Amino acid sequence: MSNVLSANLGYPRIGEKREWKKALEQFWAGKISKETFLDTVKTLRLSYLKKQKDIGVDLIPVGDFSLYDHVLDTAVLFGLIPDRFKSDEKEVSLETYFSIARGNKDAEASEMTKWFNTNYHYIVPEITNETKPYLTRNRLLDLFNEAKTELGIVTKPVIVGPITLLKLSKGYDDDHFATLLDALLPLYAQVLGELQAAGAEWVQIDEPILVREQSEEDLAAFNRAYKFIKESVPELKLLLQTYFEAIDDYKEVVQLPVDGVGLDFIYGKEANLAAIKAYGFPEDKVLAAGVVDGRNIWKTDLSATLAELQTLLSADEDHGKLWVTPSSSLLHVPVTVANETDLDSILLNALSFADEKLNEVVTLAKGLSEGEAAIADAVQKSSADLQALQQSAHRNNQAVQKEIDQLGDELPTRPGSYKLRQQVQADAFNLPPLPTTTIGSFPQTKEVRQARRNWRKGEWSDAKYEQFINDETAKWIQIQEDLGIDVLVHGEFERNDMVEYFGEKLAGFAFTRFGWVQSYGSRCVKPPLIFGDVSWIAPMTVKESAYAQSLTKKPVKGMLTGPVTIYNWSFVRDDISQAEVFNQIALALKKEVHALEEADIRMIQVDEPALREGLPLKEAKKAGYLHDSVYSFRLATTFVNNDTQIHTHMCYSEFDEIIDTIDALDTDVISIEAARSHGEIIATFEDFDYKKGIGLGVYDIHSPRIPSVEEMKSYAERALKVLDPKVVWINPDCGLKTRRPEETIPALKNMVEAAYEVREELSNHVGK
């Protein structure tokens, strides 16, 4: 038998009960000292390593742990500090590190965007043509030595590769790529050389950019980069790690001068397997086979996976060149199932979080090394648990399946054209030019969160909790009235999360107690589990929206989360197609939209902030996904009357790629972020004649800073150079749930003032 090793690619940072998040936020709030904070996170970091060692993982990563984001860590490691944050310090201080991520009173935060097609956000490195990278401090060496000294573990350091780092950065011209790469490579070599000297045997270099299409120039850059690195550290073994999809240029990639290649056999399974079958795999390299799903929460079918792994083993088993790994870092899944005590037993038995996935990795490696008989009990249990879920009533709702079967192929359509609807709605709402609104949520204060806890624990009655929510709603309706906002929202004080809230009220969903994952910084989300057929049970939002509307003569938007976002921000069943799950959710939302319209809520926002993030990484798969997304959105929204105004919201998207899709959604108003990207998104509309309503996000809500009137005016004025003033709305980039009232109210006051001043300028211009 071969000695097959188990390896992990990355472990969740947040802790079983979000201890990491709590430490971060206490430090930011000044409640604990820097020393206490650093001691706390060190204890957490070492506990994660010890847990992996106890599970039996052979190759344990370091460098995956971060105080905010691993891409930011890599940028800071190489001195890629935006000019507005630079100082004389060679080693970047903790204060500067967090300022880059979060902004400060003097400077805007760096842009944040999705990590490939996941719901994890990374901080976008800013590099200019003149940037001179330098090594600040070899953090990887510190972490390697810490694990070795404190726990006696020789770990596998992990670093984002130079080409992925540059390709995900912004601010430099394409023709400077080679120069910047040449400047980075000696620094990578220095970092790796110091690790080699300290006793490191393997280093994992993450190059997920390889799963995207590569030009000949890109492949030449990879050859040049890894030739340089390997020649600089000839004794250190390099694992070139890819994930999230298959690599198109398989023949070229597996011949790069590295000692191992990591491939995703979950999300890139068919193409990666076909490439190995067609071209083989180099006998002098390790194949790190990502066969345990690093992004979803279902148990691995150990029997089927073991059979797949056996096909990957070299004919000469003495080579021992196979590792068993997750398909990606386990950053994207919760920590452990062990703390979940309230779930239906059929569902619970089918779940696998990070710790359980590592047990699966170790079990599969054992099965390959010692034979299937050595893991027979585990194989049998995984098969039985998955079969029990599949045969349960949860996945066999005949009424839902009948509705799905009756859907046609034609896109659902609104009764009237946009031009007709625009006039009907203008007459109905009588809004001023550049109407102001917000995206939906207002600050979830300590009091709001405590009230929800009291109610959930049974310490408050339903009536007491409802009265509290009504009081908060009334307070913020009045605040919006006083600020002069034109279209109001009820504030969503009853909602814990924009997806979880709906999942709790729909059939087919389940919820964990501690199933948290990191979204960005200390922001953690607890995705619902879509484990059965989805259906509408009763109105979910009508009571709160109708109450808010009763308090004001101004329009109040009903607020829903769209089908694609609910899908993309949930852990989703994988036994039926994505399109079918989209449409199950859309049919449920359609009933809710109808209920809002029946309650005389005439503006309804169906948010799709996650539409683009689910876009497949392969060009060939994008059109199908976008068609299915448009179909499900229109299924939920297009039946409404012409005088019902449908809004949607999208954030942190590169819209130029999907502008046709945005148009095809046929919403009356789409709100987009502009401030976090410093207005760059507006360029998309210079090339596309978009005639429907656009809500322009003029301030970044992910930073605590309060933007000035002039700053917000600048985004509006830039937009009006390419957009008809009749279609432009003014709003924040995103919801205000995570901000404090003392940040929110002054910022909204400035936003309203900015809109008023731009209106005046437009009026004066027209009058001349």
* CATH code assigned at 596: 3.20.20.210
Task: For 389-420, give one letter per residue: b (16+ CB within 10 A) or e.
Answer: beeeebbebeebeebbeebeeeebebeeebee
Same domain, 377 and 424: no
Would you state the structure tokens that stand for residue 585, as one six-digit string?
A: 């959710």
Q: Is 32 left (phi over 0), alpha (psi -120 to 50) or beta?
A: beta
Q: Tell whether residue 523 is among the known ligand binding residues.
A: yes
Catalytic residue among 319, 490, 702, 765: 702
SS3 content of the chain, % helix, strand, coil (to 5): 50, 15, 40
Same domain? For 434 and 556 the reply is yes
Q: What is the pLDDT of residue 316?
A: 40
Question: Residues 294, 251: one domain?
Answer: yes
Q: How many CB atoms lie within 10 A of CB 154?
A: 15
- Which helix (H) or strand (E) segment holds residue 588: the answer is helix 578-598
Residue 108 labeled ligand binder: no
Q: For 104, how many CA atoms within 13 A lie in the half-sphere containing its CB?
A: 11
Structural domain range at position 296: 5-392
**Distance from C-alpha of 571 to C-alpha of 515, rounded to nearest angstrom:** 10
Predicted pLDDT of residue 678: 60
The verdict on whether residue 643 carries a ligand-binding annotation is: no
359 & 436 share domain: no
230 and 151 belong to one structural domain: yes
119 is in an annotated binding site: yes
| Alpha helices by DSSP H, 397-461 | 398-405, 418-429, 446-456
Nearest to 29 by CA among 522, 459, 411: 522
Nearest-5° angle of CA 306, CA 312, CA 318? Answer: 100
Residue 197 backbone phi and psi in degrees, to 5:
-65, -30
- Write out the H or E segment, with its range, that includes residue 37: helix 34-55
Percent of the chain with pLDDT over 70: 96
Angle between the N-to-C axes of helices 398-405 and 578-598, in degrees from 0 to 180, rounded to the nearest 10: 90
Residue 11 lies in a domain: yes
Tell whether 607 is in a known binding site: yes
Tokens found for residue 725 = 């003033």
Q: Which residue has the tokens 């095809």?
A: 664
Q: How far is CA 520 from CA 56, 69, 674, in A?
A: 30, 8, 19
Known binding residue 14? Answer is no
- Rounded Cα distance between 744 and 392, Å, is 47
Measured distance CA(386)–CA(396) in Å, rounded: 15
Q: Is 424 exposed, middle or buried (0-12, 13-18, 19+ CB in 10 A)?
A: middle
d(CA 413, CA 417): 9
Same-domain status, 752 and 642: yes
Residue 673 known to bind ligand: yes
What SS3 state is found at 633? helix
Structure tokens at 633: 């959105």
- Looking at 392, 424, 442, which one is the last position of a domain? 392
Q: Is residue 729 part of a domain?
A: yes
Q: Does 21 count as an annotated binding residue? A: yes
| Helical residues (DSSP H) of 198-259, grouped into ranges | 216-232, 250-253
End-of-domain residue from the set 335, 357, 392: 392
Mark whether 70 and 187 lie in a shared domain: yes
pLDDT of residue 196: 98
| Nearest-angstrom CA–CA distance, 125 and 171 | 9
For each successive 10 residues of the chain (768 residues), what is the average pLDDT? 89 97 97 98 98 98 98 97 87 94 92 91 96 96 98 98 98 96 98 98 98 96 98 98 97 97 97 94 95 98 96 59 97 97 95 98 97 96 97 95 96 95 96 96 95 95 97 98 98 91 95 95 94 97 97 97 96 96 98 97 95 90 96 97 96 72 94 69 73 88 88 89 90 92 96 96 72
Indicate whether 22 belongs to any domain.
yes
Q: Which two tokens stand for residue 451?
A: 């009230």
Q: Is 455 marked as a binding-site residue?
A: no
Q: Is 346 annotated as a binding residue?
A: no
Please indicate, yes or no, whether residues 256 and 325 belong to a single structural domain of this protein.
yes
346, 389 in Cβ contact below 8 A?
yes
Q: Which of 267, 261, 266 is nearest to 280 (CA)?
A: 261
Please give, one letter per residue, the 3-state secondary structure of 124-151. CCECCCCCCCCCCCCHHHHHHHHHHHHH
| Position 730 in a domain | yes
Rg for the chain, CA atoms, rounded? 26
Instruction: Determine if residue 649 is left, alpha or beta; phi over 0 gives left, psi from -120 to 50 gives alpha, anything else beta.
Output: beta
- Confirm whether residue 524 is marked as ligand binding: yes
Query: Structurally, how many domains does the chain consist of?
Result: 2
Q: Are the C-beta atoms of residues 170 and 111 closer than 8 Å to each other?
A: yes
**Mean pLDDT of all residues in the chain?**
94
Rounded-to-integer distance, Cα 78 and Cα 138, Å? 9
Among candidate residues 345, 157, 130, the one with its CA nearest the CA of residue 241: 157
Sequence letter at residue 100:
I
Tell me, yes or no, whether 525 lies in a domain.
no
Enumerate the β-bridge partners of residue 561.
607
CA distance 675 to 657: 19
Q: Based on the fold, state whether residues 240 and 369 are members of the same structural domain.
A: yes
329 and 465 both lie in a single domain: no
Q: Is 577 exposed, middle or buried (0-12, 13-18, 19+ CB in 10 A)?
A: exposed
Which strand (E) or helix (H) includes residue 728? strand 728-731
In a domain, 511, yes or no: no
Same domain, 386 and 446: no
Nearest residue to 263 (alpha-carbon basis) of 240, 237, 290: 290
- Residue 132: Cβ within 10 Å count: 9
Determine if residue 167 is labeled as part of a ligand binding site: no
β-pair type (156-160, 557-561): unpaired
Q: What pLDDT is stored for residue 700 in this prediction?
A: 83
Percent of the chain with pLDDT over 90: 86
Read off the tokens for 171. Answer: 């601010």
Distance of CA 708 to the CA centre of its chain: 29
End-to-end CA, the chain? 87
**Residue 230 labeled ligand binder:** no
User: What's the one-letter identity of residue 286?
Assistant: V
Q: Is residue 18 annotated as involved in ligand binding?
A: yes
CA distance 7 to 174: 36
Q: What is the pTM of this model?
A: 0.89
pLDDT number for residue 456? 92
Phi-psi region of 326 (alpha: psi -120 to 50; beta: other; left: phi over 0): beta
Q: Which pLDDT does position 315 carry in this prediction?
A: 39
Q: How many residues does the chain have?
A: 768
DSSP strands (E only) in 354-439: none
What are the two backbone dihedrals, phi and then psi, of residue 632, each rounded to the nearest 5 degrees?
-70, -40
Answer yes or no: is 469 within a domain.
Answer: yes
Is 597 annotated as contributing to ligand binding?
A: no
Known binding residue 396? Answer is no
Burial class (CB in 10 A: 0-12, 13-18, 19+), 614: buried
CA distance 469 to 448: 8
Distance CA 624, CA 615 (A): 10
- Taking the C-alpha atoms of residue 156 and residue 138, their distance in angstroms, rounded to an integer, is 15
> DSSP class of residue 557?
E
Q: What is the pairing mode between strands 523-525 and 517-520? A: antiparallel
Written as one letter, the residue type at 239 is: L
Q: Is 217 marked as a binding-site residue?
A: no
Does 613 belong to an annotated binding site?
A: yes
SS3 287: strand
Is 70 labeled as catalytic in the residue annotation? no
User: Residue 520 domain-assigned?
Assistant: no
DSSP state of 170: B
Residue 84's Cβ-count burial label (10 Å; 0-12, 13-18, 19+) is middle
Sequence-separated (6 or more) residues with CB below 8 Å from residue 681: 653, 655, 672, 673, 674
| Whether 665 and 604 share a structural domain | yes
For residue 124, the one-letter residue type is V
Q: Which helix (H) or strand (E) holds 364?
A: helix 354-370
The set of residues, in sequence order, having a beta carbon less than 8 Å from that of 281 and lying 6+ positions away, is 254, 287, 312, 314, 321
Q: Is 477 annotated as a binding residue?
A: no
What is the strand order of the sheet 529-536 is part of?
506-510, 529-536, 571-572
Q: Helix, strand, or coil here: 61?
A: strand
